[in-house]
């Protein structure tokens, strides 16, 4: 346990999340404990309603927990106020959303640098160049999001998450809105950024193919971790999901 602390980018301990009360009570997480290792690409999978998004939101400090603790690096997330959470998101966390969520008023480059300017930090030029090369936007940096394709927009979003070198990047169904080719591109360099630069990425997905890019897959069912798999393949993940006795939901 003591040795793993430094190798863990994010950790949840006995995490409970309960919505509502009385008869309308819904338990989204039932005592989930998980360590997400530094420098690895972890996928969280599970059928709809399994609590996979809730787990990610709690880990990222976007949602409050009912019981339990969440750490990102050395920082205890649970119990932080708004200012603390803001600082955490600024310095330690990056996000990639299904909806891209770029600011339409900013160019691609400005969008990429937005978290740094919000934090008032200067970009590391070498790293910035590396990121730009990785996402392969080339001459599109001066364009507005409305002038970019979905795949390009998501690559801008990825660059935005990478450029601040956060402790963890949380990706919420990053390929959900992309065609399979664009999706493969995005997943490809998410994996590269883990392999080549040691970035930690946690991705929520219900697509076995997307999960196959990860180093480790955690399976959630009914608010609990029901299984996990390392070095997954799409077929193995699909089989596992089928084995979970719950419909995968048409994905």
Partner 1 sequence: MLRASLKSLLSRKLRLTLAIVAIVLGVSFLSGAFVLSDSLTARFEKLLRSINQNVAVQVMPTEEAADDDPRPLLTQQQVDALAQVPGVAAAQGDVTALGVVPFDVRDGKPVTTQGAPQIGGGVTGDDPFALVSVAEGRWPTAETEVTISRYTAEQAHAAVGDRLKVYLPEVNEAREFTVAGIVAFEGDRDSLAGETLILFQEAFAQRTFYGAEGRFSGAYLSTEPGVTQEELRDRVAPLVPAGFEAKTGEQANEDAANDVQEGLSAVTTYFFGPFAIVALLVGIFLIFNTFNILVAQRAQELALFRAMGASWGQVTSSVLVEAVLVGVVGSTVGLLAGIGLGLAGSSALTAFIGAQLPGAGIQVGATPIILAYVVGVLVTVIAAFVPAVRASAVPPLAAMRDIARPDKPLLGLSIAGAVLAVPGAVLTGAALTGIGGLTLPALLIGVLLFFLGVTLLSPLLTRPLAGLIGRAVGWGVSGRLGVRNALRNPRRTAVTAAALMIGVTLVSTASVLAASFNKTIDEAISSTIGAEIVIQTNSTQGPPDGTIGFSSEAVDEVRALPGVDQAVPFYLTVDARVDDGSPPFGGVFAVDDLAVARDMFALKATEGDLRTLGPDEFVADQNTADSRGWSVGDTVPVELNKGGERPYRLVGVYEATPIWTDTMILPRAAVSNFNGPLAFQAYVSLDDGADPGTVMPEVERIMSDYPLVTVGDRSSLIDQFTNFTDIALGIISVLLGVAIVIALLGILNTLLLSIYERTRELGMLRAVGLSRGGVTRMVGTESVVMAVFGCVLGIVMGVALGVAIAAALIDRDFLTTIAIPWISLIVFVLIAVVAGVLAALWPARRAARLNVLAAIAYE
For residue 206, the minimal CB distance to partner 1 (Å) is 13
Burial of 248 (0-12, 13-18, 19+ CB in 10 A): middle
10-49 binders of partner 1 (CB under 8 A):
none
Q: Which residues contact 165 (CB under 8 A, 6 or more apart)?
A: 124, 127, 199
For residue 238, the minimal CB distance to partner 1 (Å) is 23
Please pick, from the candidates 46, 47, 115, 208, the single residue that binds partner 1 as defined by CB under 8 A.
115
Answer yes or no whether residue 147 interacts with partner 1 by CB under 8 A.
no
For residue 236, the minimal CB distance to partner 1 (Å) is 28
For residue 119, the minimal CB distance to partner 1 (Å) is 6
164-193 binders of partner 1 (CB under 8 A):
172-173, 176
Q: Which residues contact 158 (CB under 8 A, 6 or more apart)?
A: 96, 135, 174, 186, 189, 190, 193
Q: Which of 156, 120, 118, 115 is nearest to 135 (CA)?
A: 156
Answer yes or no whether residue 87 interacts with partner 1 by CB under 8 A.
yes
Give the residue with the Cβ less far from partner 1, 19 or 196: 19
Please pick, from the candidates 4, 7, 66, 99, the single residue that binds partner 1 as defined by CB under 8 A.
99
Give the residue with the Cβ less far from partner 1, 67 or 118: 118
């Amino acid at each position: 346990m003591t040795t793993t602390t430094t190798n863990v980018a994010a950790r949840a301990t006995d995490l409970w999340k309960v919505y509502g009360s009385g008869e309308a009570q819904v338990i989204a997480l039932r005592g989930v404990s998980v360590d997400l290792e530094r420098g690895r690409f972890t996928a969280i999978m599970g059928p709809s309603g399994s609590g996979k998004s809730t787990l990610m939101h709690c880990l990222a400090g976007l949602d409050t927990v009912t019981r339990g603790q969440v750490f990102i690096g050395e920082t205890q997330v649970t119990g932080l106020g708004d200012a603390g959470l803001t600082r955490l998101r600024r310095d330690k966390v990056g996000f990639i959303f299904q909806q891209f969520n770029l600011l339409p008023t900013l160019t691609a480059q400005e969008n990429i640098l937005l978290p740094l300017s919000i934090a008032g930090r200067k970009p590391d030029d070498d790293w910035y160049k590396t990121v730009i090369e990785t996402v392969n936007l080339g001459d599109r940096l001066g364009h507005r999001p409305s002038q970019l394709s979905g795949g390009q927009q998501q690559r801008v979003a990825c660059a935005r998450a990478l450029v601040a070198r956060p402790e963890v990047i949380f990706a919420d169904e990053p390929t959900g809105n992309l065609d399979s080719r664009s999706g493969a591109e995005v997943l490809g360099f998410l994996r590269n950024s883990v392999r080549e630069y040691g970035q930690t990425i946690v991705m929520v997905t219900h697509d076995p193919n997307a999960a196959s890019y990860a180093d480790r897959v955690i399976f959630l069912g009914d608010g609990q971790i029901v299984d996990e798999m390392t070095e997954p393949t799409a077929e193995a993940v699909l089989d596992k999901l089928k084995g979970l006795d719950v419909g995968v939901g048409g994905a």
